[in-house]
Amino acid sequence: MKKLLITRQLPQANLDAARARYDVTLREGSEGLTVAEAAAALADYDAILPTLGDQFSAEAFAGDIRCGVLANFGVGYNHIDVEAAKAAGVVVSNTPDVVTDATADIGMTLMLSACRRAGEGERMVRAGKWTGWEPTQMLGTHVTGKTVGIVGMGRIGQAVARRCHFGFGMPVLYFNRSAKEVDFPATQVAALHDLMARADIIVVTVPGGGANTALIDADGLAAMKPTGIFVNIARGDVVDEPALIEALGAGRIAGAGLDVFAKEPLVPDALRALENVVLLPHLGTAALEVRAAMGQMALDNIIAWDEGRPLPQAV
């Protein structure tokens, strides 16, 4: 029976399915594997089911390798050096598709919450500071009909855009590094900063790491309208976080909604102190049926590797 390491707690159905087929080690704790721990795991296990925070950098693949597959739990895999893995003979997969709608839903949650100042309002009520309804109290941004700018028109970007167009009558602009055709009304914008200047609400959905690191920089944020709302459901490293904090604190943009952060779970004190930002603890796929589907997809990739078949979701 092959040895499988699962680096984080998964839904019980996933653990039961894994244990029925493999000698499973379930790692305790919520912190990701360090580089040294990742290297040790690669030497000790036949298969690993990792996730965000596990540091499978190039250094982790420098020693002895027993592992043949990294079946990542999650669509984002910027914590895995895929080229180093391939050079070491380790195949890598992820879990696309099943995360699309759930992540897009969180994008809409953040958009609506930031625009309508829901976080501020809830804090007011919980603190016992609400004095009753007033005509000019907590005035926010009306969402319906506003122009949305999608940064990254992949599966999740398109899912957000569809919700915006069909649900809220929003004109859709998008930036994508390559030409991308979609089957609903939307306009591709060639330059990212042009998109950020033209849209009322920016939603970032690109993969993290690599060329996308600090893709949203100070100049891009400066191009936004003073009434602009910024939403990030991608990865924290896609944004120059200090520049975003400075723009929000100075009132150069109206607000933001963030589900991801540059150094999770660390959220800077300066960001937490701001009233005009909605902060969520990386809830993008946090629904039981979604997480169970992700776990099963990861396990299916491990089984495919075990049986000598191509990985269905190879990256």
258-279 pLDDT per residue, tens:
999 999 999 999 999 999 999 9
Contact 228, 253 (CB under 8 A): yes
Average pLDDT, integer, range 204-221: 95
pLDDT digits (tens, 9 = 90+) for 78-132: 999 999 999 999 999 999 999 999 999 999 999 999 999 999 999 999 999 999 9
Equal CATH topology for 3-98+287-306 and 100-279: yes
**For the chain, what are the domain ranges?**
3-98+287-306, 100-279
Q: What is the mean pLDDT of the chain?
A: 97
Question: What distance in Å separates the CA atoms of residue 178 and residue 70, rounded to the nearest whole number?
Answer: 28
Q: Could you tell me which of 98, 50, 108 has the C-alpha nearest to residue 78? A: 50
- Considering the entire predicted model, what is its pTM? 0.91
Q: Single out the catalytic residue among 282, 289, 291, 307.
A: 282
Q: Is 235 an active-site residue?
A: yes
pLDDT at 19: 98
The domain defined by 100-279 folds into Rossmann fold (3.40.50)
Q: Is 142 an active-site residue?
A: no
Average pLDDT, integer, range 282-306: 97
Sign of CA dihedral 282, 116, 217, 177: positive
Q: Is 246 an active-site residue?
A: no
Contact 148, 172 (CB under 8 A): yes
Average pLDDT, integer, range 277-284: 97
| CATH code for the part of the protein at 3-98+287-306 | 3.40.50.720
Instruction: Indicate whether 209 pLDDT > 90.
Output: no
User: Within a 13 Å sphere around the CA of 198, how many CA atoms are in the beta-carbon half?
Assistant: 18
Q: Single out the catalytic residue among 8, 27, 235, 291.
A: 235
What is the number of other CB atoms lying within 10 angstroms of the CB of residue 52?
A: 19
pLDDT at 59: 97
Concatenated DSSP letters of the chain: --EEEE-S---HHHHHHHHTTSEEEEPPSSSPPPHHHHHHHHHH-SEEE-BTT--B-GGGGSS-----EEE-BSS--TTB-HHHHHHTT-EEE---STTHHHHHHHHHHHHHHHHTTHHHHHHHHHTT------TTTT-----TT--EEEE--SHHHHHHHHIIIIIH---EEEE-SS----SSS-EE-S-HHHHHHH-SEEEE-PPPSGGGTT-B-HHHHHHS-TT-EEEE-S-GGGB-HHHHHHHHHTTSSSEEEES--TBTTB--HHHHT-SSEEE-SS-TT-SHHHHHHHHHHHHHHHHHHHTTPPPTTB-
Question: What distance in Å separates the CA atoms of residue 230 and residue 252, rounded to the nearest whole number?
Answer: 11
pLDDT at 278: 98
Confidence of residue 29 (pLDDT cuts 50, 70, 90): confident
